[in-house]
Amino acid sequence: MTEPVASFSRTIGIDYSGAETANSSLKGLRVYIAMGNEAPAEVLPPPSPKKYWTRRGIAEWLVERLAEDIPTVVGIDHGFSFPLRYFEVYGLEPDWPGFLEDFQRHWPTDSDHTYVDFVRNGSVGNGATREGSSRWRRLTEERSPGAKSVFQFDVQGSVAKSTHAGIPWLRFIRQALGDRVHFWPFDGWEIPGGKSVVLEAYPKLWSSAFPAEDRTADQHDAYSIAAWLAQAGVDGSLMETLQPKLTASEAAVAQVEGWILGVLCEAPRKEKPPAKQSTGRAPRSDRKTTTPGYVNRNGQEVLRGTDIPGNDHNQVVYVMRCKACDNRYGANGSDIWQRRCPACEGGASGLGF
């Protein structure tokens, strides 16, 4: 059994950018570091003609820091993996290390002179055979208000470019350090004592808790990640946050899709619609909506029931199929009548089965 981690000696917060190339000096790349419960301080890049960090420079610097015998937690502001739907569409095993290899072969954004957009437009790599839909969202994004899909490019607040630019560097760090570093939660929800960890952070969850002072938005995001991790490590709340209360099926999905540290486990509650609506009404009890073969008004078909508990009161999960795109997902029996496909109709995320 692993020894639970109580705190880390050092915390690092990184605000990321997917602009330009891996060797470009980018104002949006910021790094802050804190020792123990000290206030985080900005880490500047090594002296060179380049004023700001590059993605390659940050990855190489992290390898050096994480090779030291100092238990460190690193929070990086970009997605670490893709929705389970991506794995299903491209026939990939639900295995994160395998995903890293496959992604880098198709999206070599760690190569010299390579923009993310170069892969998008087909001049480099083979991104056309590994594209995703902006409708596909990870479970952790469904649970995080404001979080955007890792495939939602060219909008305000997008993380798509930084994610597509950053994932190959996670592979680089993993290859360089092996099992010296724990990538959470892909290597497990529990972190062995004394080991450093790299995880996905979302500064919006914490930035309002710290005065911005004279920092730019990018600096404050990196500062907030490092400051919150340091504070949580000291007061003990980090241990609880590293063990989100997910169901067994949700935890299994998150170990493939990744999880944003600090995101609530429960889906945001939605108000129930009024009893009478012009768009339709709940089905009558004699319509047997849970019977295999039943198709609701949105073209969603019931394939079979399971004995897996749902997330609604006294419900179990039923396996559904979208007749338009053949996507299969789980749903509470009480939801079947109004379900829309999460893949092609923008419906709520499906349940595990």
Predicted local distance difference test score (pLDDT) of residue 266: 61
Q: Judge contact between 243 and 265, C-beta under 8 A.
A: no
Strand duo 316-322 + 328-332: pairing: antiparallel
Predicted local distance difference test score (pLDDT) of residue 312: 75
Question: How far lies 185's CA from each of 17, 84, 149, 207, in Å?
Answer: 23, 15, 19, 23
Question: What residue has token string 């008004």?
Answer: 297
Question: How far lies 281's CA from each of 108, 212, 277, 318, 337, in Å?
Answer: 50, 49, 6, 21, 9
Rama region for 131: left / alpha / beta (φ>0; ψ in -120 to 50; rest): beta
- CA-nearest of 62, 60, 56 to 17 is 56
Predicted local distance difference test score (pLDDT) of residue 126: 96
Cα radius of gyration (the chain)? 22
What is the three-state SS of the chain? CCCCCCCCCEEEEEECCCCCCCCCCCCCCEEEEEECCCCCEECCCCCCCCCCCCHHHHHHHHHHHHCCCCCEEEEECCCCCCCHHHHHHCCCCCCHHHHHHHHHHHCCCCCCCCCHHHHHCCCCCCHHHHCCCCCCCCHHHHCCCCCCCCCCCCCCCCCHHHHHHHHHHHHHHHHHHHHHEEECCCCCCCCCCCCEEEEECCHHHCHHHCCCCCCCHHHHHHHHHHHHHHHHHHHCHHHHHCCCCCCHHHHHHHHHHCCECCCCCCCCCCCCCCCCCCCCCCCCHHHCCCCCCCECCCCEEEEEEEEEECCCCCCEEEEEEECCCCCEEEEEHHHHHHCCCCCCCCCCCCECC
pLDDT tens digits for the chain (353 residues)? 334 444 699 999 999 999 999 999 999 999 999 998 889 999 999 999 999 999 999 999 999 999 999 999 999 999 999 999 999 999 999 999 999 999 999 999 999 999 999 999 999 999 999 999 999 999 999 998 778 899 999 887 789 999 999 999 999 999 999 999 999 999 999 999 889 999 999 999 999 999 999 999 999 999 999 999 999 998 889 989 999 999 999 999 999 999 999 997 665 444 444 444 434 443 433 346 888 888 888 889 998 888 888 887 678 889 999 988 888 999 988 888 888 898 888 888 899 88
Identity of the amino acid at 327: N
What are the residue boundaries of the structural domains of the chain, listed by start?
Answer: 1-269, 273-353
For residue 260, what are its two tokens?
């944003």
Predicted local distance difference test score (pLDDT) of residue 1: 31
